[in-house]
Amino acid sequence: MDFPINISSTSDVPLHRQIYEELRRAILSGRLARGKRVPSTREMSKSVGVARATVSMAYDYLLSEGYFEAYRGSGTYVSRQLPDELLEATDDIDDLVEQLPERSTLKTRPRQLSQYGQTLQSKDWLGYPDEEPEIQFTFGRPDLDEFPARIWSQLLTRHCRSRQLWLLDCPTKARGYTPLRNAIADYLAKARAVICEPDQIIIVNGSQQALDLVTRVLVDPGDIVGIEEPGYIGAQKAFHAQGAKLSPVFVDSNGVRVDFLKSRYDISTPDDMKLLYVTPSHQYPTGVSLSLGRRLDLLAWASRTGTIIIEDDYDSEYRYKGKPIPALAGIDSGASVIYIGTFSKVLLPALRLGYLVVPKDLIDVFARAKWLNDRHSSLIQQQVLSDFITEGHMERHIRRMRALYGERRLLMIEALKGLFGSDVTIYGENAGINMLVRFNTDIPDDELVIRARNLGVGISSTRYMYLGDAPHGEYLLNYGGLKDQEIIEGLTRLRAAMDRQETLLPVEAQD
Ligand SMILES: Cc1ncc(COP(=O)(O)O)c(C=O)c1O
């Protein structure tokens, strides 16, 4: 049996691929009918004028993908059911839909969201603009260009090639890849004075998942949860969605005010604070660091009242002056602290890798919560990260980035002072990749945000970070992901936005 096939010996496409494509097209168009016997490889090689091995290769692909069926002693046939059909939904859907009753005649019950769902649906949920401004001071991103992509991809290739397939699918590893947990335990002991056993570490998809698990495991609707005022929206929203009563705890230049906590919540007072969320290394958003005296005081208060402290240590690697103060989890002797770390600032937010360090009595319950949530975080990325840390790449990367961000920070300060003079006060500039500024201006906060956006600059007012009233003119400027030129250009445009004599907001939206 002869079957004409068009192939070109001058094409870049290999001959076996051309034969495969021709035959597949013929099958899909019906030129080669289902169930029809196809020429043998010998016949085909003769008719097309190519080596039999080349034809065999094309046939092997068609067989393995299910376009051909081979029967011993009888030959090769076009399959009766083609693989493409198995991937397509039925096209008889119109007939099915016709049999259903008219939608308008159906009695429908109003949709009833859970309390959690209702909070997520509420209007005060913060959205992101559809289009990002050209120069973005809004997101606390690291410099994405500086992500060590070459090293990362080499390590990834190494693991993909290792063929240790059991490593690619470990459903029992809810707590995370053991070598990574060992590496993190070593890192924490050295860099943060946190001494823990690797078993206490649970790998999660960034701090946000850590907060979600903490909330599920420890917070019931109506529980009082303390949160720094001003504080991190990601934490506020997680606790709020669970139905917690948020209790603002004020922050001054030494960090969270323990005297305030002691006066409001103690064993002798009727209200218990279940949990307190803090960012001691680099308070978000004010940038202050919790003094050692306050840390000790806070821990003593927590163990006396039984309050669990959630320590979010999201960017402590970037500190430009003085030695870091040990993490709360490092000086806690009362098992009061749950520590959260993330690789979002040190490496890349898109990796979605972070970790929890939990007291020993909470290991199992957190591991089960993680398993229920999403089984485990990406094991292949955990393997890469583990090598990245143990082979010294992370320390080198942090050293390099600290120097780079340190220079950007100086540039920010210089440019802010140069452009805004006495109209700006800068806070929290000693650490992190952002800084808090207060502008001396009459322009309402939302108005300045819009004016800046109209000039292609994104800035965030801190008013959404306060549960109560926010000071006027306060903004958090993230500079980690911006190049020098963008910093200068962005701040120059912000100055221009402030100098404009226009009002963009409707009168009632101004405060
Ligand atoms: C206070 C704080 N914690 C944690 C994070 C990082 O979150 P994630 O690890 O979920 O990316 C951020 C990011 O901006 C933050 O500001």
User: Which pLDDT score, from 0 to 100, does residue 2 have?
Assistant: 65
Give dist(CA 458, CA 486) in Å, integer: 12
Ligand 1, residues 232, 338, 339: which to mutate, most atoms within 8 A of Cβ? 232
Question: Rounded to an integer, what distance in angstroms lies between the CA atom of residue 424 and that of residue 289?
Answer: 21
Which residue's alpha carbon is at the smallest distance from atom 5 of ligand 1? 314
Ligand 1 atom at shortest distance from the alpha carbon of 210: 10
Q: Model confidence over 11-52: pLDDT tens digits?
A: 999 999 999 999 999 999 999 999 999 999 999 999 899 999
CA of 245 to the centre of ligand 1 (A): 22
Which residues in the chain show pLDDT less than 50? Answer: 509-511
Structure token digits, residue 183:
């590496």
Question: Which class is 160-392 in CATH?
Answer: alpha beta
Atom number, ligand 1, closest to the C-alpha of residue 140: 14
User: Domain 135-143+396-509 belongs to what topology?
Assistant: Aspartate Aminotransferase, domain 1 (3.90.1150)
Residues 37, 38, 42, 46, CA torsion sign: positive
Q: Which two tokens stand for residue 132?
A: 């990002």
Angle of CA points 327, 332, 335, to nearest 5°: 125
Protein residue with its CA nearest to atom 15 in ligand 1: 314
Ligand 1 cavity residues, CB under 6 Å: 140, 206-208, 232, 279, 284, 312, 314, 342, 344, 349, 354
Minimal-distance CA residue to ligand 1 atom 6? 207
Residue 83: beta bridge partners? none
Distance from C-alpha of 365 to C-alpha of 202, rounded to nearest angstrom: 11
Helix, strand, coil % in the chain, rounded to nearest 5? 45, 15, 40
Residue 241 CB-density burial (10 A; 0-12 exposed, 13-18 middle, 19+ buried): buried
Residue 418 confidence (pLDDT): 98
What's the CA-to-centroid distance between 232 and ligand 1, angstroms?
8
1-105 has which CATH code? 1.10.10.10
In the chain, where the domains are located: 1-105, 135-143+396-509, 160-392
CA of 425 to the centre of ligand 1 (A): 25
State pLDDT tens for residues 72-94: 888 999 999 888 877 777 667 77
Grouping H, G, I as helix, E, B as strand and the rest as coil, residue 483 is coil
Q: What is the pLDDT of residue 509?
A: 47
Q: What is the pLDDT of residue 500?
A: 82
For residue 347, report the distance from its CA to the centre of ligand 1, in Å. Answer: 12
For ligand 1, mutation pick of 144, 233, 278, 312 (most atoms within 8 Å of CB): 312
Pinpoint the alpha helices (H) of 336-378: 363-374
pLDDT of residue 213: 98
Between CA 441 and CA 462 the distance in angstroms is 15
Count of alpha carbons within 13 angstroms of residue 276, beta-carbon side: 30
Least Cα distance to 363 among 175, 172, 188 occurs for 175
Termini Cα distance of the chain = 85
Ligand 1 midpoint to CA 471 (Å) = 23
Distance 429 CA to ligand 1 centre (A): 18
Residue with tokens 């096209």: 91
Handedness of CA 501, 506, 507, 511 (dihedral sign): negative
Alpha carbon distance 336, 330 (integer Å): 11
Q: How far does residue 81's CA lie from ligand 1's centre (Å)?
A: 51
Task: Choose the residue to mutate in 202, 344, 355 for probing ligand 1, maximizing ligand atoms within 8 Å of C-beta.
Answer: 344
Q: Look-up: residue for tokens 């006060």?
A: 425
DSSP 8-state symbol, 144? G
Residue spans of alpha helices (H) in 352-392 = 363-374, 379-390
212's tokens:
């979600």
Helices (H), 171-256: 178-192, 206-218, 233-241
Tell me how far the alpha carbon of residue 183 lies from the centroid of ligand 1, in angstroms: 21
Distance in Å, CA 314 to ligand 1 centroid? 6
Handedness of CA 498, 502, 504, 507 (dihedral sign): positive
Whole-number Å distance between alpha carbons of 310 and 84:
52
Q: Which of 281, 314, 385 to mutate to test the pocket of ligand 1 (most atoms within 8 A of CB)?
A: 314
Residue 352 Cα, ligand 1 centroid: separation in angstroms?
A: 10
Return all residues near 458 (Cβ < 8 A) that are at least 6 apart: 129, 132, 133, 135, 136, 137, 138, 139, 452
| Residue among 271, 324, 253, 260 at smallest CA distance from 297 | 260
Beta strands in 299-369 (DSSP E): 308-312, 337-342, 354-357
